[in-house]
A and B are shown apart, each in its own frame.
Chain A
Amino acid sequence: MEPGKATSTGPVVFQTRGLTKTYDQGEVQVHALRGVDLELYEGEMVVMLGASGSGKSTLLNILGGLDVPSSGEVRYRAIDLSAAGDRELTGYRREHVGFVFQFYNLIPSLTARENVAAVTEIASNPMSPEEALELVGLKSRIDHFPAQLSGGEQQRVAIARAIAKRPDVLLCDEPTGALDSATGVLVLEALEKANRETHTTTVIITHNASIAGMGDRVITLSDGNISGERHNECRQDPRTLSW
């Protein structure tokens, strides 16, 4: 597989059929997803675009085993996530998924290295924390606590933490949402590099259309449905992005 090339022809990693999700918000029923059919392929980088309330986070949470659909089916390879219980979902997250969140969610009492180690300790085939931090360019900040790191640095620690266990999928929820453009680019570079070097299926959800160019595929969500999908001939280098 050539780095930077569209891989939508590889084996299917995720498959959803008629996925719906309904929340009760007080007296009102919110339809976050209204029947989503989707395939994600091994090694590809997908950018999911959508405005706030489009259902993109709900979809990511279901793919990541944090939430279960109200109806429909979602499969990760042979695992039926829609039928899994808490124990199976925990195991699934532990074995297969790397998460990156908008607000980093680092453990403030642990240093960069220890934050990564918190995940590698429970993984079956991890890289070393040092290796993971080197991959995101933070080797020199390895013994710093989150409070001693900038927002961008914290997010890169979070990426290192996500990729260190060599996950099968990397799910990123607004990874640049809390960062300025220049810092955001650094973070996206780290994600791009990780995808390129580890061939991990990567899903980035964002409301920021400027990011779309770096994906192999761009899926647009609105009002709980997939409203558009396009393939990029060539992935854009994150360094050329700005917003």
Chain B
Amino acid sequence: MRGQVLAIALVIAGGVGVCVMSLVNYSSLLATRAQYYDQHEFADVFAPVKRAPRHTLQEIATLPGVARYEGRVEGAAKLEMPGFPDPVSARLVSVPPEGQPEVNRLFIRQGRLPGTGRSQEVAVIGSFAEAHELALGDQFQAIINGRRQELTVTGIVESPEFIYVIPPGGMLPDYQRYGVLWMNREALESAMDMRGAFNSLVLTLRPGHSVASAVDALDRLLDRYGATGAFGRDDQFSHRFLSDELNQLKTMATVFPLIFMSVAMFLLNVVIGRLISTQRDIVAVLKAFGYSNRQIAWHYSKLVIVIAVIGLLAGLALGLWLGRSLGELYMDYYRFPGLLFRIDPSWLLLLAVLTITVAWLGAWRAIRQAASLPPAEAMRPEGPARYRVTVVEKLLSGIRFSQPSRMIVRQLSRRPVRTLLSMSGVAMATAIVMVGNFQFDSVSLMVHTQFARVQQQDLTATFIEPVNSAALFGLQRQAGIRYAEGRRSVPARLVSGHREWRSAVTGIPSDARLQFVIDSDLQPVTLPREGLLLTDYLADELGVGPGDVLQMELLEGDRRTVNVPVAGITSEFLGVGAYMDLEALNRALGEGPLINQAMINLEPDKASEIYNRLRETPRVLGLSIRQAMLDSFYDTLARTFLTFTFFNSLMGGIIAFGVVYNTIRISLAEKGRELASLRVLGYTHNEVAHILLGEVALLLLLGIPLGWLIGQGLALMIVTAMQTELYRVPLTITTQTLGMSALVVVVSAIASGMIAWWRLKELDLVAVLKTRE
């Protein structure tokens, strides 16, 4: 009994553990973020502009609802990190001469903010500093606005604006190749030729003031300065990513515990039911002595409560421990000054009440049976078990079953509900492991599609200003460059009725060889001569389909507004895009054959030479290398998913162990006498173990494929829930994932099988012969 109690408690602990872990992470991240935002005045509204004079800020101050504001200069830099040959880019943000900005204040880990009049000083974001092991006083070269400068690190800082740092166009962090640097405003103004002006406005609002009206007011005020449209926190990248993560934690806090608790309920039902049937005589004696039904029910309820409490306490400990370890993993991704470890006690109380109630409900049927047993009937042993020849045997009448095999089949079919539930338990365990692993496959497919099928260039160079596409010829003539092709990306606002979306429209040449737009079958789509190609996610958001006409407000050049038809819908895993023929886009802009990005294929051995040359080219704003992006992605992903795979496998293993161990133990209790009889008749230990373990093997054989099906369903659910603007994870399940999930379940079954194997050795053959069943 002790082993069974522990096995059930373990399953409950698993459920409680996941729940507590998710709750701890959820509340800790939420509290940490809230405190961080609050103490560091994280902006409510962000408004990028091309160039606005600083005196505009006085008008900003008078806008209704504005609490604090900061006009900043932002820019991009190409960096040369000592001992690191790959291109590195950075985002530059100004800090005011007087120190901390009003909005988006920095958390200083080390050192100080870059001072006034010292042009070479920068504060570096922690992730970048760690990746390059930068210390205060370290120096490196940067090219800002085409001019080379030597920068000195004076501080290592974090910002609420960059909790999640990813390079533009990327999906996961690449701390080595992308960083954020803060420079004194005067220094950055002069480096960017922005004296007396700003190109980025951030502000906080007074409590209760609407973001939408502030956005409207800002758009009106800043339009003449080349505003590309103000937006609220919800559209801010780092904030949005973190919010998505928090939502996923919330799902995890409910879905997984649900699976665990239903398995625990089933196990309690079976185990308590079995216990009560072996204790019929005790129940009878107690009743004969005058114990009431209620007292009997309470007696067994206490046992259930003890099991639930053991599971609850173990689960709490497990959950807090997992929460802490996972919290540390989160800190690798999310740059917080520190993690506040929080859990709301009232949630824990609720969880405790729920756990005990659910456990008790699981055992209720068995308890009620015991309580309602009339004493005289309870005194008699249970009638002999009735068996039938099973349908399976009739169907397979051609096969000669051995008698032990018959015993297995008939045992399972005698209690179809229990068999079905045990099978479901095995299936759930399989599904949980699968859910942990499939995400890796899916994300891999997504990345592979994006970076190997859609983007075939080795290198992408982004220009500061659009250049004539004739520049490509110049590029192609350079030694080491095999082929170059241009594209143009223009910020735009797409409007359909009352719906609108801020995005970039990408112009792709009609004869593109390195870049494709793909459809849902991952096949390249031919770009239409006229009209837009929209990703399905964007088309849904705008509520348009092929043939509908959109209003496209281009936020560059003469800022024209044109009507364009939607020519088609594409399917992309990453990002949200609108595509157009390059010529058509340039026509719409009223401009010549301009491009602002070059996609380049290299001779592999000339790569670093080309990097260096392009870094020195003033017109080139930044470089990104496809392979480096892929490598860094897989590095980060592998580490995270390894943790999750381990965690999910552990959870699946716990469930599998709980189900299989209890199945075996109950079976052993029910069939101990038969098995001992067979031993007496000359069956060997292994032959008898075959009967016991064969039942489990059959359960696995049926349960695992069912688990694969359920796993697919769960995976589909998760994938659907994970559809965001940033990425849409495709559903793909490899044989490796199927194999892994089966392996975990089989291994935990083997572990419980071994215990049963030893138990069988201890069967008392003589005692069995002396007792009536």
Give the docked Cα–Cα distance between A86 and B673 (Å): 19
Do A99 and B386 contact each other (CB < 8 Å), given the known contacts A61-B766, A117-B403, A122-B687?
A: no
User: Which residues of chain A have C-beta atoms less than 8 A from B674's C-beta?
Assistant: 105, 107-109
| A193 shortest CB reach to chain B, Å | 21
Give the docked Cα–Cα distance between A73 and B122 (Å): 95
CB of A156 within 8 Å of the partner chain: no
CB of B414 within 8 Å of the partner chain: yes
Contact between B680 and A66 (Cβ–Cβ < 8 Å)? yes
Partner of B772, one of A90, A111, A178: A178
User: Which residues of chain B have C-beta atoms less than 8 A from A95's C-beta?
Assistant: 682
Contact between B683 and A122 (Cβ–Cβ < 8 Å)? yes
Q: Which B523-561 residues sit within 8 Å CB-CB of chain A?
A: none
CB of A51 within 8 Å of the partner chain: no
Contact between B406 and A114 (Cβ–Cβ < 8 Å)? yes
Do A147 and B385 contact each other (CB < 8 Å), given the known contacts A110-B403, A122-B687?
A: yes
Do A109 and B410 contact each other (CB < 8 Å), given the known contacts A61-B766, A118-B403, A178-B772?
A: yes
CB of A183 within 8 Å of the partner chain: no
CB-based nearest B residue for A167: B682
The bracket for how many chain A residues form the interface is 35 or more
Give the docked Cα–Cα distance between A72 and B404 (Å): 37
CB of B771 within 8 Å of the partner chain: yes
CB of B58 within 8 Å of the partner chain: no
CB of B402 within 8 Å of the partner chain: yes
Do A147 and B387 contact each other (CB < 8 Å), given the known contacts A108-B674, A121-B402, A178-B772?
A: yes
Contact between A105 and B403 (Cβ–Cβ < 8 Å)? no
Contact between A173 and B681 (Cβ–Cβ < 8 Å)? no
Do A103 and B772 contact each other (CB < 8 Å), given the known contacts A90-B679, A95-B682?
A: yes
CB-based nearest A residue for B388: A145
Q: Which B681-726 residues sit within 8 Å CB-CB of chain A?
A: 681-685, 687
Do A108 and B682 contact each other (CB < 8 Å), given the known contacts A61-B766, A103-B772, A178-B772?
A: no
Contact between A105 and B680 (Cβ–Cβ < 8 Å)? yes
Do A93 and B682 contact each other (CB < 8 Å), given the known contacts A105-B769, A107-B674?
A: yes
Do A147 and B384 contact each other (CB < 8 Å), given the known contacts A93-B680, A103-B773, A109-B407?
A: yes
Contact between A146 and B384 (Cβ–Cβ < 8 Å)? yes
CB of A141 within 8 Å of the partner chain: no
Contact between A99 and B385 (Cβ–Cβ < 8 Å)? no
| B13 shortest CB reach to chain A, Å | 35
| A149 shortest CB reach to chain B, Å | 10
CB-based nearest A residue for B674: A107
CB-based nearest A residue for B403: A118
Contact between B385 and A109 (Cβ–Cβ < 8 Å)? yes
Give the docked Cα–Cα distance between A146 and B770 (Å): 19
CB of B242 within 8 Å of the partner chain: no
CB of A102 within 8 Å of the partner chain: yes
Q: Which B360-396 residues sit within 8 Å CB-CB of chain A?
A: 383-389
Contact between A67 and B766 (Cβ–Cβ < 8 Å)? yes
Give the docked Cα–Cα distance between A194 and B414 (Å): 35
CB of B768 within 8 Å of the partner chain: yes
CB of A41 within 8 Å of the partner chain: no
Q: Which B57-77 residues sit within 8 Å CB-CB of chain A?
A: none
CB-based nearest B residue for A87: B684
Partner of B682, one of A57, A106, A111, A122: A122
CB of B326 within 8 Å of the partner chain: no
Contact between B773 and A121 (Cβ–Cβ < 8 Å)? no
Contact between B673 and A105 (Cβ–Cβ < 8 Å)? yes
CB of A94 within 8 Å of the partner chain: yes
User: Which residues of chain A have C-beta atoms less than 8 A from B389's C-beta?
Assistant: 111
Do A107 and B682 contact each other (CB < 8 Å), given the known contacts A147-B385, A147-B387?
A: no
Q: Which B714-750 residues sit within 8 Å CB-CB of chain A?
A: none
Do A108 and B384 contact each other (CB < 8 Å), given the known contacts A66-B680, A122-B683?
A: yes
| A68 shortest CB reach to chain B, Å | 11
CB-based nearest A residue for B414: A109
Q: Which B208-231 residues sit within 8 Å CB-CB of chain A?
A: none
Give the docked Cα–Cα distance between A174 and B361 (Å): 46
CB-based nearest A residue for B409: A109
Give the docked Cα–Cα distance between A64 and B410 (Å): 30
CB of A13 within 8 Å of the partner chain: no
User: Which residues of chain B have C-beta atoms less than 8 A from A86's C-beta?
Assistant: 685
The SS class assigned to the A binding surface is: mixed
Give the docked Cα–Cα distance between A95 and B266 (Å): 44
User: Which residues of chain A have C-beta atoms less than 8 A from B414's C-beta?
Assistant: 109
Give the docked Cα–Cα distance between A152 and B406 (Å): 25
Partner of A145, one of B387, B680, B771: B387
Contact between A99 and B766 (Cβ–Cβ < 8 Å)? no
Contact between B678 and A107 (Cβ–Cβ < 8 Å)? yes
CB of A97 within 8 Å of the partner chain: yes
CB of B666 within 8 Å of the partner chain: no
Give the docked Cα–Cα distance between A164 and B414 (Å): 28
| A132 shortest CB reach to chain B, Å | 14
Contact between A109 and B765 (Cβ–Cβ < 8 Å)? no
CB of B677 within 8 Å of the partner chain: yes
CB of A166 within 8 Å of the partner chain: no
Do A107 and B683 contact each other (CB < 8 Å), given the known contacts A61-B766, A67-B766, A147-B384?
A: no
Give the docked Cα–Cα distance between A173 and B410 (Å): 29
CB of A196 within 8 Å of the partner chain: no
| A229 shortest CB reach to chain B, Å | 25
User: Which residues of chain B have C-beta atoms less than 8 A from A147's C-beta?
Assistant: 383-387
| A202 shortest CB reach to chain B, Å | 17
Do A119 and B681 contact each other (CB < 8 Å), given the known contacts A103-B769, A103-B771, A178-B772?
A: yes
Do A108 and B385 contact each other (CB < 8 Å), given the known contacts A61-B766, A99-B681?
A: yes
Contact between B384 and A102 (Cβ–Cβ < 8 Å)? no
CB of B411 within 8 Å of the partner chain: yes
CB-based nearest A residue for B772: A103
Contact between A114 and B682 (Cβ–Cβ < 8 Å)? no
Contact between A93 and B385 (Cβ–Cβ < 8 Å)? no
Give the docked Cα–Cα distance between A99 and B388 (Å): 26
| A129 shortest CB reach to chain B, Å | 10
Give the docked Cα–Cα distance between A109 and B406 (Å): 8
Contact between B677 and A107 (Cβ–Cβ < 8 Å)? yes
User: Which residues of chain A have C-beta atoms less than 8 A from B685's C-beta?
Assistant: 86, 90
Contact between B385 and A90 (Cβ–Cβ < 8 Å)? no
Contact between B387 and A119 (Cβ–Cβ < 8 Å)? no
CB-based nearest A residue for B401: A114
Give the docked Cα–Cα distance between A146 and B673 (Å): 15
CB-based nearest B residue for A119: B681
Give the docked Cα–Cα distance between A64 and B682 (Å): 10
Give the docked Cα–Cα distance between A189 and B407 (Å): 31
CB of A217 within 8 Å of the partner chain: no
Give the docked Cα–Cα distance between A86 and B403 (Å): 23
Do A90 and B684 contact each other (CB < 8 Å), given the known contacts A107-B407, A109-B406, A146-B384?
A: yes
A-B contact pairs, 12 of them (CB 8 A): A66-B769, A93-B681, A94-B682, A97-B682, A105-B680, A105-B768, A109-B410, A110-B387, A118-B404, A118-B678, A147-B384, A161-B681
Given contacts A90-B685, A110-B387, A110-B410, 11 further A-B contacts (CB under 8 A): A64-B680, A91-B682, A93-B680, A103-B769, A105-B769, A107-B677, A109-B407, A110-B403, A110-B407, A145-B386, A146-B384
The 6 closest A-B pairs by CB, nearest first: A94-B682, A118-B403, A105-B677, A109-B410, A93-B682, A109-B387
